[in-house]
Structures are given as C-alpha cells and as structure tokens.
Structure 1
C-alpha cells in the first residue's frame, strides 16, 4: 500500500505548489455551500489534492468514466469528501466528475409505502437495502457511462425533510462526457451478511417489530441480489472507517442539527407550520436502529472489501489513508 505522505511527496514533485493555493478558495466555497466544517480546507495538501491526483491518474478519458464507490457509516463525511474531490478534479485536473448519492435514489414515499404493505412495515422507513430504487440507480449509472459530448441528463434529488423525491424539474443536470463518478452511500459496496447471524435481534426495534426476523432476512436478500448487481459497476471501492458504532449516532445527530439550521435559514419562523420533518435526538436514536445491524457488520467486514480505506477518529478527522500499490 502507498501512504498519504508518499502520495503527497509524489504530488509535490509533479505539480506546482500554486495549484493548492488556487484551489483553496473553491474548496472553501464548496464546504460553505454544504454547511460543512470550513477548516477542512486545511486538508488540501495532505488529503484532497493527493487523492484527487491519484484518481486523475486512473481516469480514462475517451473510454468511459471511472466509477468510485464510497461507503461509510451515516454522518462520517462521505458526501462532503466526494463533493470536494469532484470540484478539485474539475478545477485542477480538467476532469468532469459527478457525485451520485444513494440517498437520492430512495423509492418515492408512495412506492415505499406500497412495498412495505406488501412485505414488512419496517420498509416504510427509508435507509436499508430494499428502500432504494435499484433499477433507477442502475439505469442512471449506465447512462452516465454512455453520455456523450453535448448530451445532458438529470440526476434525482431526494428531500429528506419531505421524505420524498423532488420533482424532475428540480433534479441535478449533468453534461457529458463524464470522466469520474463518485457513487456514495452508507452501504455502497457492502456484501450480504451470513444468514446465521440474523437469528437474534440486536436492538429494541428488531425485538419488538421484527421478532421473527423476516425484515432483516429480506434486507439481506436485497443485498445479495439487486444491490450486488448494482455494485458491480464500481471500479474502485472507498471506505470511511469510523472508530466504533457509538460515535456514529453523534455524527448523525450533528448532521440532523445542521439540516435543521439550514431549513431555518431558508424558511425562518414559518418552518414549524410547514410539512417538513427534522428528527429530534430521541427520534433519531430510534431511526438509527434500522441501520444498526448493517453498520456493525460494515465495521467488521469492509476493511477486507475496500480498495482504499480512510480511517477516521471520533472527531471525524481522517487520520490515515493509503491506496493499493499496482503492479
């Protein structure tokens, strides 16, 4: 494996130092637009730029986009990382990079409710495998691969505060050709769990609402079939490794509070009168029980699946990362 310090040294030899200075403003503006920690701009030289350079070396213009899957527990910073790197690839390396989020590929609320009525009521809550539109995701990735110069397409956008997909006229426009796709999501690239591990509930939600284990078996079946086929599009799998499950709730709660602040900035005092939902801390704890089993499984299994691992500390800071040595 090649470490981040080795990549930083290689970058310093091959590219002018002015590139970092030139990109800093763009990175700061990107972080600001995401309501993210603007001090992350200080990681240009040791994280964002070396990794962007590594990605650029593996891109294949005129052949098809490089598909990078980015996985990691809720709130770990996947979207922020992928968005910043995509901007650096555009501004610094002249590569058309696109971020496709699994969170934007949930089934519509009506389709999710219909599916939950046909299978198990826990599928009414978005998040686990089975609540995403896998066929739509597959179609979008295939279309991104084929998009030619001058062609445009639109990526869906899911509004978490409304718990539903936004109308098509509010989707994100993408112009072709695409050089790099970041396909990011909390369970991207995850394999199915051993069936014997599904027998006993691991939290109150599973014990009271999935006593016979039917829901968790169905979730696992989705991972084994539709999601496995979807993840075959991925060329390089990235993983943000949290130190433990306990910090994940803290990160996700921080994310929810950021969403709340963002909505208040937009709607002000009338927010409480609108059909917009932000979870309280207690509601979030219950909500995250839907994810707990797979998150714990991810923490124990993804190191052996991912090509690149970003190790985080409890403050969500990347403290180590390395990439594979290619022969």
Structure 2
C-alpha cells in the first residue's frame, strides 16, 4: 500500500484550497525525489487542479520555474471525436474517457519540457468543447518542475471479463453490446502506458467513494458557468449526471487500483478536506 499523506493540523476549508502544510509537503515530495514531472491524480471535482495551482505557486515563490498541464488540455478536438463517433461508437463524441485524448501530443509536450526546450502548453475550452488554437497556447521556455494532473493517471485497464456487465444506465442503454467500453479499455491498455512512463511520481487524491463525484463535478460545472461570458452555457444537472456516468467505470477502477500504485495517497472526506 502506498504511503498516506496526513496533515498534522486541521485542514483548511476546500473553498480556500488545501492548507499550506499539505501544499508544502507535496512540493517537498516532488523535490526530494527529483521528480521533473510530478503527477496529481484525482477523480472529477476532487481538487487536483486547485492543488496543482497551489503547489506551482509555492514552487514559484521558491524561485523554481513551473509548468502546469492537465490531461484535459489534450482532449481530441470536436471534429476528431465526431469522426470516432461515426466510425467506432456514438459515445466517443463525448470528451473524457480513455480514447478521447491526443496522447502523442501529451508525450511530446512533456518530452520538450523535460529537455528544457521552448514549448507551448495546449489548452482546452470545456464550455466551447474544443481545444484552443495553438496561437492561444501558453508559451514556456523552460521548467524546473512540471505538474501534470488528471482524473485517471496511471489507471490500468480492466480484464476483458470485467467489461461484460453494464454499470449504469448509459452503459445499459447506449452501449448494450459493450463495444464502447471495450474500445476505451483497449485504448487504456494500448495508448496510455507511453504517457504514464513519463510521470516520475504520482500523488492520488483519494475520495471517500465514487458516489460523491457527481456532486463534486456539479459544483465544478456551476463555478465554471458562473465565471464564463454570459452567452455561453455549460451542462444542466441532468446532463451532468449523465456525463459522469461515462467516467464511472474507469473511476471505479482508479479507486480500486491507484491506492496501491501511487507513490503517495492523500485521503479526502466528502468536503474534499484531507483526513487527519
């Protein structure tokens, strides 16, 4: 079992982010182990982007050059996903599950950052549901530390027999023959290990269970919509509940496997506070 990271003092409310002690210990964990690419995994809404931003800010205060990237930033564009939806399965039009990322792009960006070369960091606009054009990607000339976050980092594929039974209404009604979940599982086995091999160290933000995720993700969606220009709309709550079902299978696999695979585990309560 991976080591647990426990705060020695009460955690700050999640609205304020993670406490300074947790942030410091995560940064120190990266530096002590010489991790050029430090990965933060956590299910949807768990606070991984918040923690990555806090660790990056603390590292910058120490004089380090930091680059932050999310696996969400390398989603395939809408046109590519629509092609997959036409040629493979309609559910592949929706971003998120394995098989809907440009893994080669992610590997190339991490390799360039590790080499210290000039690189532009891709960005994905979730409300527009497409990747921003390269002209709008953030330029980075060099980085001492790369923080890479994502909801299923280093999650292994399931055994074929585990895919037979549907987990939820989306799988039952929209993937009755299992072809979509087999495609995602095959992609997880075939494409993503090359990306995982570029991650030097992994922290897993461990939620109390998958059941908490829909509420967390809805809070995230509501905040994103509140901060967006007024004409742009995101998902409604029913749309969000359906969306989260697309992630359930791999999320549950992450919950089963990452506590034993991650280098460090930070258990969270239902309010995303680190458990003492």
With the length of structure 2 as denominator, give the TM-score of the two structures. Answer: 0.93
More relative contact order, 1 or 2 (CA 8 Å, 6+ apart): 2
What is the match of residue 210 of structure 1? Answer: 175
Q: Tell me: CA distance 1:227–1:2, structure 2 relative to 1, closer, same or farther (3 Å).
A: closer
Residue 40 of structure 1 is matched in structure 2 by: 17
Aligned residue runs from structure 1 range 5-16, under 5 A: none
Q: Rate the CA distance shift 1:3–1:122 in 2: closer, same or farther, 3 A.
A: closer
Separation in 2, partners of 1:168, 1:192: 32
Once the two structures are TM-superposed, the CA of residue 145 in structure 1 deviates from its matched residue by 1.1
Say whether 1:57 aligns with 2:36: no
- After TM superposition, the score normalised by the length of structure 1 is 0.79
1:199 matched residue in structure 2: 164
Q: How many residues align?
A: 270
Where does the alignment leave 5 or more consecutive residues of structure 2 unmatched? none
Alignment of 1:63-102 (within 5 A): 66-92=36-62, 94-102=63-71
Aligned to 1:175: 141
Q: What's 1:325 paired with?
A: none
- Measured against aligned partners, the alpha-carbon deviations of 1:159-201 in whole angstroms (never above 9, x if no partner) come to 000000112221112121x221111111111111121110011
Runs of 4+ in 1 over 4 A off after TM superposition: 1-6
Deviation at 1:232, TM superposition (A): 0.7
1:107 and 1:191, CA in 2 relative to 1: closer, same or farther beyond 3 A? Answer: same
Structure whose alpha-carbon radius of gyration is higher: 1
Match of 2:115 in 1: 146
- Displacement of 1:53: 2.4
| Distance (whole Å) between structure 1 residues aligned to residue 77 and residue 104 of structure 2 | 13
CA distance in 2 between counterparts of 1:280 and 1:50 reads: 37
Specify the alignment match of 1:135 in structure 2: 104
Q: Is the 8 A contact 2:107 2:195 kept in 1?
A: yes
1:298 maps to 2:254: yes
Shift of 1:230: 1.2
Q: After superposition, give the CA deviation of every residue in 1:232-256 in whole Å (9 maximum; x if it has no partner).
A: 1111111110101111111000000
Are the aligned partners of 1:86 and 1:99 in contact in 2 as well (CA < 8 Å)?
A: yes
RMSD, aligned α-carbons:
1.7
| 1:110 aligned partner | 79
Pair 5,128 (structure 1): closer, same or farther in 2 beyond 3 Å: closer
Answer whether contact 1:69 1:189 (CA < 8 A) is retained. no
CA offsets per residue over residues 54-75 of structure 1, 9 Å max, x none?
A: 322233xxxxx61112111100
Alpha carbons of structure 1 residues 250 and 135: separation in structure 2 relative to 1, 3 Å: same
Larger helix percent: 1
* Contact persistence 1:69–1:237 (CA under 8 A): yes
Partner residue of 2:269?
A: 313
Report how far residue 4 of structure 1 moved: 4.4
Give the secondary structure class of the aligned counterpart of 1:316: coil
